[in-house]
Amino acid sequence: MSTKKVTVIGLGSLGSALAAALLRTGHDVTVWNRTPEKAEALVAQGATRADTVAEAAAASPVVIVCVFDTEAARELLAPIQAGKAVVNLTSGSPDEARELAAWAASRGVDYLDGAVMAVPAAIGTPDAFVMYSGSREVFDAHRAALDSFGASHFLGEDAGVAEFHDLGLLYAGYATLVGFLNSVAIVGTAGVTARELLPLVTTWLTGMVAYLADVAREVDERDYTDGASSVAINQVALDKIIAASRAAGVSPDLLLPFKELLDRRAADGHARDSASSVIELLRPGIHPE
């Protein structure tokens, strides 16, 4: 059964946005923050400020925690009573999430871990989504409250799974950011601004995203024989980019590890395979085919 009473502990940039989103969707929100003044804006919007974590937790069946790091979250969870549901939206590692879930279970507290994929300003908009793992019961019981933040995705009962997804999406995001910055650096040597380059990069990346469906099929099936873009073709392409970057005075360092993986695949006799086959050198514990 869904509840309208929700407690939010931690009112930094993200926690404040979460509490405000809950208020907008008609929830009865109790808040606590180490620096109490940060609750004032939310109290003006209808939230109730608690004086202690224990008082805040007692006010609602579900307690959302969003603080700086897992160490702070662990300290704050100590006074939470058995029977409560905790949704921890503090960023942490998969192991930290699993440890907190085990600790919560030992105290009779139901634990759901979450990774927020949005900046505070996007909370409650269609651009925001949150990935959850841990207690399915907590996810189902408090789904209406969680949906206040954005689309909610439950990814499994292992509490660490949401944080693994977080790491994975951050890898893809950082690679895109770093790729764009390198792109701006090299094209910029021809007098082109980042704004001028952006529309072409956007169209290019849209095509790349479509290509990822082929990559996903290849790596899941470990079948690289029919790929659109071979190891050998990409070795040649990267050699050109690396040489041209050096000639233009732009560091090619970020591409060198990928080139090294392609060279190893070629040396192992896989030059005609799809370039996606470098995954065989990245995955731990999988024997190369």
Ligand X SMILES: NC(=O)c1ccc[n+]([C@@H]2O[C@H](COP(=O)([O-])OP(=O)(O)OC[C@H]3O[C@@H](n4cnc5c(N)ncnc54)[C@H](OP(=O)(O)O)[C@@H]3O)[C@@H](O)[C@H]2O)c1
Residue numbers at the binding site for ligand X (CB under 6 A)? 10-15, 33-35, 38, 66-69, 72, 76, 90-91, 116, 119-120
> Which residue, 54 or 200, has its beta carbon nearer to ligand X?
54
* Residue 13: CB minimum distance to ligand X, A: 4
> Which residue, 93 or 229, has its beta carbon nearer to ligand X?
93
> Which residue, 15 or 227, has its beta carbon nearer to ligand X?
15
> Which residue, 26 or 79, has its beta carbon nearer to ligand X?
79
Whether 74 contacts 97, CB under 8 Å: no
> Which residue, 90 or 234, has its beta carbon nearer to ligand X?
90
* Residue 127: CB minimum distance to ligand X, A: 12
* Residue 152: CB minimum distance to ligand X, A: 15
* Residue 25: CB minimum distance to ligand X, A: 19
> Which residue, 90 or 135, has its beta carbon nearer to ligand X?
90
Q: Which residue is nearest to ligand X (CB)?
A: 12
* Residue 53: CB minimum distance to ligand X, A: 9
**Residue 64: which residues within 8 A CB-CB, separation 6 or more?**
6, 7, 8, 9, 15, 18, 86, 87, 88, 89, 145
* Residue 8: CB minimum distance to ligand X, A: 10
